[in-house]
Chains A and B, each alone.
Chain A
């Protein structure tokens, strides 16, 4: 990987650490959802850095992966939020 882009990979690794830390200490459902979203973003950042692992034009495949991954992350976040809201409503009854 060219040196100037490895900072993105390192940032991704750092975010993975933050996300796992948050998952370990927080029990609130919204914080947990945010934590695994951070984890997802970390993975995307790593993919972004991988796209520039060789000198020359960036590799488009990791970009395609990140776009697909974002779609998956949005759908699962939406489902998790919907479930969390329904649980909240049921608790209030």
Chain B
């Protein structure tokens, strides 16, 4: 157990250092090896969690409150596995996608991002979480600016400014919490934050800051430009993982630290913003002319669904039905996973189409279904999950959310869940429809490296497996679920 943890954190960071210092073939191979080791470590740790439940590790033997503790429950484990899987796919894709001169700049940033993501899911200390989120931001902003042209640079500067505003709001919230309770450890904080006005203000600051970083409508303004102008592998990581990292921290604050039933009004406010995000993001996605912007706006929409977990979970607990809360919890987490896999597949598909046809305008995709059938099939499968059709991870997630919303008679959430799926099908099928049109002359295509196709296909297979065999991730979500132990069934 404790043997795997240093590799989870140290592997990608060591890979970043190696790939920065040695840009040759040996350096490249060594860094891939180090990073892959962390994916193996994630797998090993997950077996441990499955066997014996929540794992706690005190760094250097210093426990909380003075030291920093690593804590791995089911949610953290799923996020680590997700990071490992998507990072492997993105690494494979990037090796084929990036031109030679872009590679030395890409790899260190990418491995730093990977390491920072792993760390954020492991640490159980609200200040360390701040540091990790900043590390993610710095690596992600650097990655966004990689192309070096003016629009991408402006988008990444705006991304950096927004992310730092979010972080500082979070940090002020942490200061207020520490002043009241005198500890930074999440487990020790749990249940000790009273319902005074200052704890309410602290939680509001934290929530607003993290909503900014997660790009919850209307704080999403920085996302479409940044996610669509980054190189495709970075876009995939941004949409799949980076926004989820701050959402993950938000989940910790709402469910581990505060009493979920006590702030139902705030939860419904988040839910309402989520609904607005679903509608606004989906409509915008359907109107875009460029493929990567479609995918980026779709992220704005899909993030909206994630925020349904707050009112649905809290509402169920307030009604005294913890099994309904369990459904909301499971649905929200599976949606994080399903969206991450589907969205990374979609961004990689956009990158592959961009390289095959030399354009990512949807109107230039005529004939693509004949010339790049596998790539478009992957788009279709990822789209099925976003819409929420079986068999896919997205279907399982939306089914669970829909069930609990219907049971609690939250009809507005039910309506938006259904309407959002319909709107998603508009932008998914619009792309497919264009690709099936017959152009006057067939577009000239350039062949893409096999590693790109393999990584895209691997992601779609995972997505289908999540729909066909959902029991394993569902089992994981229950380890360490923030419900009173007696309520578990």
CB-defined interface of B155-177 with A at 8 Å, one 1/0 digit per residue? 01100110011001001100100
Is the C-beta of B150 less than 8 angstroms from some C-beta in chain A?
Answer: yes
| Residue contact B175 to A47, C-beta cutoff 8 Å | yes
Q: How big is the A interface, by class?
A: 20 to 34
Q: Which of B138, B150, B156, B172 has the most CB of A within 10 A?
A: B172
**Bound-state Cα–Cα, A10 to B178, Å:** 17
Is the C-beta of A2 less than 8 angstroms from some C-beta in chain B?
Answer: no
Q: Which residues of B contact A72 (CB under 8 A)?
A: 130-131, 134
CB-defined interface of B392-407 with A at 8 Å, one 1/0 digit per residue? 0000000000000000
Chain A 25-73 interface residues, beta-carbon cutoff 8 Å to B = 29, 32-33, 36, 39-40, 42-43, 46-47, 50, 53, 59, 61-62, 65, 68-69, 72
Closest residue of chain B to A71 (Cβ to Cβ) is B131
Q: Which residues of A contact B149 (CB under 8 A)?
A: 90
Closest residue of chain B to A65 (Cβ to Cβ) is B127
| Residue contact B150 to A80, C-beta cutoff 8 Å | no
Chain B 311-363 interface residues, beta-carbon cutoff 8 Å to A = none
| Residue contact A36 to B150, C-beta cutoff 8 Å | no
Q: Which residues of A contact B160 (CB under 8 A)?
A: 76, 79-80, 83
| Residue contact B142 to A79, C-beta cutoff 8 Å | yes
Q: Which residues of B contact A75 (CB under 8 A)?
A: 134, 138
| Residue contact A87 to B178, C-beta cutoff 8 Å | no
A15, chain B: closest CB distance, angstroms: 11
| Residue contact A83 to B157, C-beta cutoff 8 Å | yes
B102, chain A: closest CB distance, angstroms: 16
| Residue contact A91 to B184, C-beta cutoff 8 Å | no
Is the C-beta of B153 less than 8 angstroms from some C-beta in chain A?
Answer: yes
**Bound-state Cα–Cα, A83 to B164, Å:** 15
| Residue contact A61 to B138, C-beta cutoff 8 Å | no
Is the C-beta of B296 less than 8 angstroms from some C-beta in chain A?
Answer: no
Closest residue of chain A to B160 (Cβ to Cβ) is A80
Which residue of A33, A42, A59, A83 contacts B156 across the interface (Cβ within 8 Å)?
Answer: A83
Q: Which residues of B contact A61 (CB under 8 A)?
A: 66, 178, 184
The binding surface of chain B is classed by DSSP as helix
**Bound-state Cα–Cα, A76 to B139, Å:** 10
| Residue contact A76 to B134, C-beta cutoff 8 Å | yes
A51, chain B: closest CB distance, angstroms: 10
Is the C-beta of B485 less than 8 angstroms from some C-beta in chain A?
Answer: no
A91, chain B: closest CB distance, angstroms: 7
B234, chain A: closest CB distance, angstroms: 15
| Residue contact B161 to A46, C-beta cutoff 8 Å | no
| Residue contact A62 to B178, C-beta cutoff 8 Å | yes
| Residue contact A76 to B168, C-beta cutoff 8 Å | no
Q: Which residues of B contact A90 (CB under 8 A)?
A: 149-150, 153
Q: Which residues of B contact A79 (CB under 8 A)?
A: 138, 141-142, 160
Which residue of B137, B153, B164 contacts A87 across the interface (Cβ within 8 Å)?
Answer: B153
Q: Which residues of A contact B156 (CB under 8 A)?
A: 83
Which residue of A40, A62, A80 contacts B157 across the interface (Cβ within 8 Å)?
Answer: A80
Closest residue of chain A to B135 (Cβ to Cβ) is A72
Which residue of A23, A39, A50 contacts B178 across the interface (Cβ within 8 Å)?
Answer: A50
CB-defined interface of A1-37 with B at 8 Å, one 1/0 digit per residue? 1000000000000001000000100000100110010
Closest residue of chain B to A47 (Cβ to Cβ) is B175
| Residue contact A87 to B131, C-beta cutoff 8 Å | no
| Residue contact A16 to B172, C-beta cutoff 8 Å | yes
| Residue contact A32 to B161, C-beta cutoff 8 Å | yes
Q: Which residues of A contact B3 (CB under 8 A)?
A: none
Among all A-B residue pairs, the 5 with the closest Cβ atoms = A90-B150, A83-B157, A50-B179, A72-B134, A87-B153
| Listed A/B pairs (16) with beta-carbon separation below 8 Å | A1-B179, A29-B157, A40-B168, A46-B172, A46-B175, A61-B178, A61-B184, A62-B178, A68-B127, A75-B138, A76-B160, A79-B138, A79-B141, A79-B160, A87-B150, A90-B149
